[in-house]
Amino acid sequence: HGFGGAPEAYGRLLTAWARHGFTIIAPLHVDSQKHPNRDATGQVAFLTRLEDLSVARAEAARTHPGKPLIVAGHSFGSLMSLIEGGAVTVAGPMGDPAVKGVIAFSSAGNIPNVVTPETYSTLAGPLLVITGDRDLVPGFADDWRDHRIPFDASPAGEKTLLIFAGADHQLPGTAEGARFDQIVQATEDFLDGYALNDASARARLQAFAADGVTVERR
């Protein structure tokens, strides 16, 4: 979840993924306003999230041994997912080979003192970035294009970027109607394509097109 957020903000999307057949593990991090012992300090949030996600991956391995793993996150949470997928920040490499792909909503872009110019150069696996042309976070992403940095700066190959016209920073939690259906379609094709190695799902994702959505691929 995003900084200060909670998994329930994405309840409809997580429910869709679960109904599609995937097990969802969604930690509540200490920076969340829902956390009983909240600590909103940036450094504490970063370090404790890394620990939380290590525990989550261990739980996934314990309860579903041998199963592939896709990581997904929104905003600050997307940075954590990108790290799990192979991006290297000042904290060093913390990727997990069990991760078969990353879904990043409103990626955190370049966070000073955390993200380096080389951070996304090691993000070699499949990546789906979803953002909007009104996706602004004052003081952190003053230009919506900041959210596309992991897509642009990572090695080419199996990378997809979806830009929803008029969509703001809360897109994954507030999308309705056809827009929500489009997000579900694209993300489930990504899940099937890279977690289950489903070639037809990868082909559907490669062919994805919708009114009001700009699609780029590398």
For residue range 178-192, what is the model confidence (pLDDT) as tens digits? Answer: 999 999 999 999 999
Tell me what pLDDT residue 140 has.
82
Tell me what pLDDT residue 138 has.
86
Structure tokens at 2: 């995003």
User: Is the CB of residue 117 less than 8 Å from the CB of residue 149?
Assistant: no
* pTM strictly above 0.75: yes
Q: Residue holding tokens 């593990």?
A: 25
- pLDDT under 70 in the chain at which residues? none
Closest to 149 (Cα-Cα) out of 174, 170, 131: 131
Tell me what pLDDT residue 109 has.
79
Tell me what pLDDT residue 111 has.
85
Give start and end residues of each alpha helix (H) in 90-198: 149-153, 171-174, 177-195
Tell me what pLDDT residue 73 has.
98
Tell me what pLDDT residue 141 has.
87
Amino acid, res. 109:
G
